[in-house]
Amino acid sequence: MESTILFYLLSAMSVISALFVVFSRSPIYSVLSLIVCFFTIAGHYIMLNAQFLAIIHIIVYAGAIMVLMLFTVMLLNLNQEVSVHKFNLTKLMAVFTGGLLFLVIVASVKSSTLANYQAPAYLNIGNAEDIGMKLFTDYLLPFEISSVLFVSAMISAVLLAKKEIK
């Protein structure tokens, strides 16, 4: 009972804050409501018994990435609510891609069976040890490949930030 109330509360908060990200005129409010949205999603993870995922979500997204985002917004002083002039073609393409995304979401919601939903059988997902065992045995190759992806992103970031050697 309590968990149902909590679920609806969290869901309402995440939907409202996500809408606020899009509709807010001031970028700083967008960033702040995105942080709130991340926290509510972390709450959902905890309700799914995935504490490890929840805390990693908070550390990585709310704690590091959003700090950098806020940092950029503050440094560029994007406080002025200016609306950048957009070309008609840009608007058209935005509507088109947004519509495509909407189509994908509708399709996935339609194909899912909510009526007889079963909770996942594997309940120990919250345990760091279990996640480690899974990652390093069953999912070793995807794990290694994604780490290669991260290394390449890091190297390119360093290259971009490096000063020109004269």
Binding site for other proteins (CB under 8 A): 28, 32, 35, 51-52, 55-56, 58-59, 62-64, 67-68, 70-71, 74-75, 126-129
The nearest distance, CB 70 to other proteins, in angstroms, is 6
- Which of 29, 44, 45, 39 lies closest to 62, judged by CA? 39
Q: Residue 138 and residue 41: Cα distance in Å, rounded?
A: 26
In terms of Cβ atoms closer than 10 Å to its own Cβ (0-12, 13-18, 19+), residue 113 is exposed
* CB distance 52 to 135 below 8 Å: no
The nearest distance, CB 7 to other proteins, in angstroms, is 20
Which is nearer to other proteins, 74 or 101 (by Cβ)?
Answer: 74
Name the residue type at position 147.
Answer: S
Which is nearer to other proteins, 10 or 27 (by Cβ)?
Answer: 27
Which is nearer to other proteins, 37 or 62 (by Cβ)?
Answer: 62
Which is nearer to other proteins, 11 or 79 (by Cβ)?
Answer: 79
